[in-house]
Amino acid sequence: MDELFCKNLKETRNSCGMTQKQVAEKLGVVESCYANWEQGRTEPSIEMLRKLSKIFSVSIDDLIIG
């Protein structure tokens, strides 16, 4: 998993003032699933990337490349 994506994901979530649990609930996944994305253990599907961009009001590019 790309370290830049993990960093961007965490920073974006923090700037939105959300916890991992809150984001996971909005996505309909368990908290550990979302946490694994931030830690680079697994990566989200395209559909989850779309949902993340909507939740955070950013583009998918902002999440992937900053």
Mean pLDDT by 10 residues, the chain (66 residues): 92 98 98 97 97 97 93
Question: How far is Cα 43 from Cα 53, in angstroms, rounded to an integer?
Answer: 15
Whole-prediction pTM: 0.93
Nearest to 59 by CA among 3, 8, 1: 8
Domain ranges (residues) in the chain: 3-57
User: What pLDDT is recorded for position 50?
Assistant: 98
Tokens of 35: 């946490």
Tokens of 15: 């700037």
Tokens of 33: 């699933």
Domain 3-57 has CATH 1.10.260.40: yes
Cα of 64 vs its chain's centroid, Å = 10
CB 26 within 8 A of CB 52: no
Biggest alpha carbon distance in the chain?
Answer: 25
